[in-house]
Amino acid sequence: MAKLCFTLDLLSMLLNTMGIKGELYMKKIVFLSLIYLFFIPSKPIIVAQTIYRSMPTDECIDYIKSHGLTTGDYSAELDIPSGYGLVYELSNGELVVIPSDLRQKYVGFIFTNKEVFYEMVNADYFPIDRKYLTFWELERDDLGRLPESIKNYVDFLKETIRINDDFLNYHYFKTTYDSIVNYLNQNGEAYLKDKIVLAYSLQVMKYLVDTKNGKWDLEKRYEIYNSYIYPGISLDDEYINVIALFYSSLKNEGKNFEMFSDFVGITP
């Protein structure tokens, strides 16, 4: 505002020296300048546009039906990367995506048009609410940075189970296994259990890579909408699903570490 007052004072002085024609000319300049200062924003105004919506599957199905379609009228040409979705083209140009198993309380999407749909498909990522995310989707970022991100999982394991990993050997893995079993018997929260199993399994895999010439086998898998990396290992050209073997051993009567260690190749 101070700059504006100074400008007007300067224009007033010029008007006094330029006469009537100059006065009219300068008044025109002042008028246009004031319009620019007060009515033209310094940044362009961007009008928000909803390019997609997410809502429970049952509401998406109701929306599909309100446009004269049934759940059987999905497109045979359109799909999402996982292959676990059904895509519906509405008469107004919108596209609706729902899980192929029609689970009612999961999430679906309504896209403004095909272009928006393809943008999300090409990005290979659907921004769904956290309450719908599976364990693997929650761990997507760290899993995508394996094997560099193993340290994050080891730190989590050390903090949760209170272990010392100074010496990685048969004794360490058996002691840690037993500690995990005891901990899980007292803490049954699903996400915590899955992360402990993943963290321990990753430490086993890294040990096999470092000591047994194992090779990482990082497989891209999908939940309904989003991809994630599922870690495994190849040892002597044989694929070993360490995570699945760990879960299997936990279900075995007696929580058999010996069975697990034999399968994955941890020897005394």
Angle of helix 257-264 versus helix 170-186 axis, rounded to 10: 130
Identify whether 216 is part of a domain. Answer: yes
Shared domain for 21 and 65, answered yes or no, is no
Closest CA to 23 of 33, 32, 34, 11: 11
Query: With contact defined as beta carbons under 8 Å apart, do 202 and 231 qualify?
Result: yes
Shared domain for 215 and 173, answered yes or no, is yes
Shared domain for 12 and 125, answered yes or no, is no
Shared domain for 140 and 257, answered yes or no, is yes
> Per mean pLDDT, which range of 9-18, 181-190, 209-218, 222-231 is the poorest?
9-18
Phi-psi region for residue 222, left (φ > 0), alpha (ψ -120 to 50) or beta? beta
Shared domain for 111 and 220, answered yes or no, is no
Query: With contact defined as beta carbons under 8 Å apart, do 214 and 201 qualify?
Result: no
- In one-letter notation, the amino acid at residue 164 is N
User: What is the pLDDT, as a whole number, of residue 253?
Assistant: 61
Of 129, 154, 180, which one is at a domain's C-terminal end? 129
Q: What 3-state DSSP class applies to 169? A: coil
Shared domain for 233 and 249, answered yes or no, is yes
Shared domain for 181 and 232, answered yes or no, is yes
Identify whether 47 is part of a domain. Answer: no
User: What is the pLDDT, as a whole number, of residue 49?
Assistant: 56
The CA-based dihedral angle spanning residues 47, 50, 51, 52, taken in that order and rounded to the nearest 10 degrees: 160
Identify whether 81 is part of a domain. Answer: yes
Identify whether 196 is part of a domain. Answer: yes
Identify whether 46 is part of a domain. Answer: no
167: domain CATH number is 1.20.120
Shared domain for 166 and 239, answered yes or no, is yes
- In one-letter notation, the amino acid at residue 191 is Y
Shared domain for 170 and 256, answered yes or no, is yes
Of 82, 109, 129, which one is at a domain's C-terminal end? 129
Shared domain for 13 and 100, answered yes or no, is no
Q: Are strands 215-222 and 52-56 parallel, antiparallel or unpaired?
A: unpaired
Q: Tell me the per-residue pLDDT of 5-63, one tens digit each, with 9 for 90 and over.
A: 434 444 444 344 444 444 443 444 444 444 433 444 444 333 345 699 999 999 999 99
Identify whether 19 is part of a domain. Answer: yes
User: What is the pLDDT, as a whole number, of residue 255?
Assistant: 57
Residue 92 sits in which domain range?
Answer: 52-129
Identify whether 75 is part of a domain. Answer: yes
Most confident stretch, 128-132, 177-181, 185-189, 199-203: 199-203
- In one-letter notation, the amino acid at residue 214 is G
Q: Tell me the per-residue pLDDT of 117-167, one tens digit each, with 9 for 90 and over.
A: 999 999 999 999 998 999 999 999 999 999 999 999 999 999 998 877 667
Q: What 3-state DSSP class applies to 205? A: helix
Identify whether 107 is part of a domain. Answer: yes
- The percent of residues above 90 in pLDDT, for the chain, comes to 63
Shared domain for 222 and 239, answered yes or no, is yes
Band of pLDDT at residue 245, cut at 50, 70 and 90: very high
**What is the domain count for the chain?**
3
* φ/ψ of residue 98, rounded to 5: -135, 160
pTM given for the model: 0.76
- The percent of residues above 70 in pLDDT, for the chain, comes to 79
Shared domain for 122 and 141, answered yes or no, is no
Band of pLDDT at residue 254, cut at 50, 70 and 90: low
